[in-house]
Each structure stands twice: as C-alpha cells, then as structure tokens.
Chains A and B, each alone.
Chain A
Amino acid sequence: MTPLQRVQEKFSQEVIETHTFRGDETVIIRSNALRAVAQFLKETPELDFNFLMDLTAVDYLNFADGQIKREARFEVVYHFYSLKHNHRLRLKVPIEEKHPEIDTISDLWPSANWYEREVWDMFGIQFQGHPNLKRILMYEEFQGHPLRKDYPFNKRQPLVGPVN
C-alpha cells in the first residue's frame, strides 16, 4: 500500500482530493485535520515520515486566468520524506483568504519552525501555536507579504536606517 492509499483509507472524511501527477503522490486535506494527519504520518511505522523536507505555500489568486475554480486562495504545501522506507508524500492544505490560519506542526518536526516563519513572512498565513512567529527574510517594518500575487514585484520598500 502506498502512503497515499494509507492516508486516504484512514482519513476518508478529511481528504478532499488526491493525485499522482508525474509520480508525485499528493493528498489534499481539510485544514482542521492537519494535526491528526501529521501525527499519523509521523507515528505510523509503515509510513515513518521522519523528515519534513519542505514547507511552503502557493497563492492561487486568479490562477490560470480564473478558468479553474478554486474555493480557497492559498494552499500550504508540505513535502515529507521517510528515510527508512525511502518514500515521499506531498500534503496540501487549502486556506481561505478570510482567515489565513492553520495549526503549527513545529512541535512534531522542529524544521517546521523556520519554514512556518517564512510562510508567514511571505504569504501572511498565521500558524496557531507557533512559538515565535515573526518575519524571517524581510525586516520587521516591512509592509505586506511579498509572495502574494497581489503584491507587485516591482514595488520597493527601502529600509532607511537611523541617521547618526
């Protein structure tokens, strides 16, 4: 049984969609089930996802010129890897624009700590329960979240230091 099938079997209610485009197993789940699914991925011996390789988000605002209908604007994307079984799984969680919030998993995988800070910095998605959710790549005074699609790429916000 592949990791995708296991998750689908265990969380049939919470799984919205699955696909294996180009061989990448992907599960899309509801955001309230994230903690339960994450715990399941980490603690089931047959899955044993001990690496959280990557955590990022995608802004689907007006994706493909609005031809593809999407209920949620954002998607938080997790890439897991298991050293023991040498398999990978991509987990995606849609987040609505009105309440860009999701639970943290930084207590399960410490690597999530900085990644979640980066997603907050770049997309403005809040991680509930994160120990230290502050900007990481941009500076504290920065206005807005630069990787959102409605942030113009050529907008400049120079940080002017104190005049000595």
Chain B
Amino acid sequence: MLLNVGPSHPAMHGVIRLVMELEGEKVKGVDVEIGYLHRAFEKMCETVMYAQCFPYTDRLNYVSPLINNVGFALTVEKLLDIDIPERAKYIRVIMSEISRVTDHLTCIGASAMELGAMTVFLYMIKARELLWELVEEITGARLTISYVRIGGVKADLTSDFADKTFKKIAEVRKVLIETDELLTRNRIFFDRMKDTGDISAEDAMAYGITGPFLRASGVPYDVRKANPYLIYDRLDFEIPTGTKGDNLDRYFVRMAEMEQSLRIVEQCLEQIPEGPLAADLTANVISAAQMVDRAKIGKTEGLIELQVDLDPTLEGGTKKYHTAINANKRDVVLPPKEETYSNIESLMNHFKLVMYGHGIRPPIGEAYFPVEGANGELGFYIVSDGTDRPWRVRVHPPCFPIMAALPQCLVGDMMADVVPTFGSVNMIAGELDR
C-alpha cells in the first residue's frame, strides 16, 4: 500500500512529505520530499550587504538562531582575517550553548509528546522558556535575534546576568531530572524508542551525518573538539556517544549533551574576563537629539564624557561596552553611537559601513567555516568578489544529510516507528529547505 504522510501532518514538525510503501504495517520503502519551506536564503544573501544577512540566518534553524548567527559571523571574520575581543568570544559561546539546550529541549519534548507524553513536553517547554528569557534579556528578542555582529556582538551581558543564569540553570537541571524519571524508566517510551530507527556508524558517516545523530551511532565527532573555534579549547566538557544508533541512544545523547552545555555555560561565566559592568550608566546621560544639536553648533567641550540615551533595541551597546565586545576595526565595526552623534569622523565611518556600495569589503577569496550546530556541523561557505555583497553564500545544513538517510532508518520498521524516528531527527524545515 502506498501511504502519503504530509506535507502538513501533526506528527511532521515542519513541512515535509513522506511517501511510504507499506506491506501490512511494515515500511518497505520511503520517498522523502523536501522543499516546502524553501525561501531562497542563498539567493537573497547575494543581494544584500554582509551585515544584512544576519536576519536571514536567524531563520535557518529557528530553534537555535544564535548558533547560525555565530557561524555566519565567524565565516566573514575568517574572510576578513580579524580577531575579536575575548569577552565577545565568551558571550558567543554562552549564547550558543544556551541555544543548544533550547534546541535539544524542543526536540526531546516534541518527540515525547508525539509518543503521548504531554507532561514531558510541557515541562521541557517550561525549561526552554526559562532559557529564552535569558536570551530575550540580552538580545531583546526571542526568535529573530540578529544578535551577533561581524567583529563582535550587539550588546554586552547585563550586570546580573551571571546570577540569573546560575539560578535558571539549577531550575533547568531540575526539569531534566524530572523528565528523565518520567521517560527513561517509562516502559512505553523505552520500548518504542529501543531498536527503532537504527543506523550504523558506517552508514551514518557515508551519508555525511554529523551531530547527535552521528554520535548516537558511536562516532565521537564534534566540531567543538575536532576543530575548536572561539574558546572551546579552554573548556572542559565531554562528548557523549551511544552505541547502537537507535532512537533511544539519540535520546540519551541529547539528554547528556544538555548537561554538558550547561556545564560549558557555567565555566564560561566563571572564566569570562571582567567587562565594563561596573560602569555607571545612569550618570551624564543626555538624549541623542541633544547630543547631535550640541555637536552641530560646535559645543563639543565635555561631550566625550557624556553618554547617550539609546533606544531600547540598542541597549548594552553604549560606548562603555563597545570596546569590550567589538573588534577594534574601523572598516568592519560600527562606531559607538556616542561618537556617531558627536563627531564627523565617526559619522562618516558609520555611513561608510551602512551605505549601499560601501560597507564591509572582504578581499576576493573564499572561506568555509564549520561550527557545531544543535543538529550537527553547520558550515558556511562564502565566496567574496571584493564588493560589499557576498558573491555566494552556501550553508551546509546539518539536517540535510540526515533527511537523505531517513529511508535507511525507516525501512524495515513498523509504520508506528516512523513517528519517534522522525522526531529524533529533529528536522528543522528552515535550515533544511533554506
């Protein structure tokens, strides 16, 4: 019997179509059809300036958008050959790891819900909400964050961020223990996950699968260990692996990885170099309009000590923070707003970076930079022709090879096993179809 599942089906998170050939309840063959969420990410990136690509990258893997931002920024920085301040590196790692936890929480929560464990889903979404509150506090948005900048990040951490994060991590850990008790010793969950959707290590590597999916098959490949970027080589964390590569192993690997990510966040918060957090941000504040007016009529005396009252969307990016979280590169990083408003050189600098036909100009060349996304190796390949717009942006989406190997996992299993297997893939249509 030929059975069509999707493209819009409650158990298919995201839009995808599976055409399955069944014999009784056994799956004999699967045809995977993708592309329902294709939004021409790569084409659109060719039409805008480098900095304008960030909003597009947010929408690739929309469960952990910060990692996409970091990956894109690192690739452009590789093209430009610039280094960023230590503090910005730590902030990027902290935000990436928080995103990884939210991604895994969504994946396990959603696939548990599809197996009937509604409570687990609600608990995990609660934990994800705690982490998203942190993301929201720093970036000002929950999903479409566009937080990372080429050469740094948009805003510094808030002064009480560390305390809040430690508290929230403790709560997330509690949720993880609760859900572990609810799922791992649950007969129904265990039996449906065990020995279903398995893939051998050889097959997984041949298909180019990376991330938790590959590690569950027993291959300890993780970009953070193999090609450490940012400050991952200074951190102490483990790469959890499975043995059989079935759904249960993937569940265990994701659960263990969340603990490792939380450990990384804790270590980063302890190691992070002191920023200008002690700066008094309430003193000497005037409005932007006043500052511009004073500068225009030449009353520049004492202007350098003043701070500007910024729009809430730019909070954390004032001059006092700016140097700690951005590379000292005038041809890449926008000057702090205080300088843009008060002197002509910085105003010109600002316009040179934001105007069409000017902007950031990497030299002619190409670069590929892999980062560890929540689903595996997320690589950006950018070709520059020396202008302000990328000639070609290619993203290697971690879901893509997994979806190509999906028939391998499904054939031979029962129809009912499609749901947990598909859940453990954690397909994100945004990055799969781009």
The answer to whether A113 has its CB under 8 Å from any CB of chain B is yes
Q: How far is the CA of A128 from the CA of B34 in the complex (A)?
A: 23
Known A111-B206, A137-B35; contact A146-B40, beta-carbon cutoff 8 A: yes
Contact of A22 among B78, B208, B209, B381 (CB under 8 A): B78
- CB within 8 Å: A-B pair count: 94
B43 close to A (CB within 8 Å): yes
* Chain B, Cβ-Cβ closest to A56: B394
Asked if B100 is at the interface of the complex by the 8 Å CB criterion, the answer is: no
Residues in B whose Cβ lies below 8 Å from that of A93: none
> Out of A26, A51, A54, which one reaches B205, CB within 8 Å?
A51
A111 touches B219 (CB 8 A): no
Cα–Cα, bound, A138→B79 (Å): 31
Chain A hits for B392, CB < 8 A: 58-59
**Which of chain B's residues have a CB closer than 8 A to the CB of A77?**
381, 394
A115 CA to B400 CA in the complex, in Å? Answer: 9
* Range class of the A interface residue count: 35 or more
Check A53 for interface membership: any CB of B closer than 8 A.
yes
* Residue contact A83 to B221, C-beta cutoff 8 Å: yes
**From residue 52 to 77 of chain A, which have CB atoms closer than 8 A to chain B?**
52-54, 56, 58-59, 63-64, 68, 77
A75 to chain B, nearest CB (A): 9
A24, B208: Cβ atoms closer than 8 Å: no
**Closest chain A residue to B401, Cβ basis:** A111
Shortest beta-carbon distance, A60 to chain B, in Å? 8
Contacts of A26 in B (CB 8 A): 366
Instruction: Write out the residue numbers on chain B whose beta carbons fall within 8 Å of the beta carbon of A147.
Output: 42-43
B47 touches A24 (CB 8 A): no
State how many residues of chain B have any CB contact under 8 Å with chain A.
46
List B residues 265-322 near A (Cβ within 8 Å). none
Q: By the criterion CB–CB under 8 Å, are B226 and A86 in contact?
A: yes
Cα of A4 to Cα of B383 in the assembled complex, Å = 20
Chain A residue numbers with a CB within 8 Å of B396 are 53-54, 79
Q: Using a CB-CB cutoff of 8 Å, which residues 382-424 of chain B contact chain A?
A: 383, 385-387, 391-392, 394, 396, 400-401, 403-405
Take A53-B377, A56-B381 as given contacts and tell me if A21 and B367 are in contact as well, using a CB distance cutoff of 8 Å: yes
Which A residues between 67 and 97 are near B, CB-CB below 8 angstroms? 68, 77, 79, 83, 86, 88, 90
Please state if B206 and A109 are interface contacts (CB–CB under 8 Å). yes
User: Which residue of B210, B383, B392 has the most chain A CB atoms within 10 A of its CB atom?
Assistant: B392
A129 within 8 Å of B (CB atoms): no
Q: Please provide the chain B residues from 341 to 385 with a CB less than 8 Å away from any CB of chain A in the complex.
A: 364-368, 370, 377, 379, 381, 383, 385
A71 to chain B, nearest CB (A): 17
Contacts of B226 in A (CB 8 A): 86
Q: Does B173 contact A (CB under 8 A)?
A: no
CB–CB B40/A79 < 8 A: no
Other-chain residue from B367, B394, B404, B433 in contact with A111 (beta carbon distance below 8 A): B404
Query: Known contacts A77-B381, A90-B368, A146-B40; is A64 also within 8 Å of B35 by CB?
Result: no
Are B81 and A139 in touch, CB under 8 angstroms? no
B35–A54 CB distance below 8 A:
no
Which residues of the partner chain B approach A122 to less than 8 Å between Cβ atoms?
42
> Which residues of A lie under 8 Å from residue B205 when comparing CB positions?
50-51, 83
Contact of A138 with B404 in the complex, beta carbons under 8 Å: no
Q: Is the CB of B38 within 8 A of A137?
A: yes
Take A54-B368, A90-B368 as given contacts and tell me if A138 and B43 are in contact as well, using a CB distance cutoff of 8 Å. no
Inter-chain CA distance A115–B34, complex, in Å, is 13
Residue of B nearest to A19 (CB): B365
In the complex, B86 has a CB within 8 A of chain A:
no
CB <8 Å contact, B44 and A153: yes
B383 CB contact (under 8 Å) in A52, A58, A114, A146: A58
Asked whether A64 and B385 contact (CB < 8 A) given A86-B227, A114-B404, A138-B35, the answer is: yes
B209 CB contacts on chain A under 8 angstroms: 111
Partner of A136, one of B35, B46, B364: B35
For the complex formed, measure the closest distance between the CB of B339 and the CB atoms of chain A, giving whole angstroms.
31
Q: Does B229 sit at the interface, judged by CB under 8 A?
A: no
B6 to chain A, nearest CB (A): 15
Q: Which residue of A lies closest to B432 (CB)?
A: A137
Is B237 engaged at the interface, CB distance under 8 Å to the other chain?
A: no
Once bound together, how far apart are the Cα atoms of A158 and B56, in whole Å?
A: 22
Q: From B366, which residue of chain A is reached at the shortest CB distance?
A: A21
Closest 7 CB pairs of A and B: A111-B208, A137-B35, A114-B404, A54-B396, A64-B385, A21-B365, A56-B394
The interface of chain A, by Cβ under 8 A from chain B, is 21-22, 24, 26, 50-54, 56, 58-59, 63-64, 68, 77, 79, 83, 86, 88, 90, 109-111, 113-115, 122, 135-139, 146-147, 153
In the complex, 6 of the A-B residue pairs with CB atoms within 8 angstroms, ordered by the A residue number, are A21-B367, A54-B381, A77-B381, A88-B368, A122-B42, A153-B43
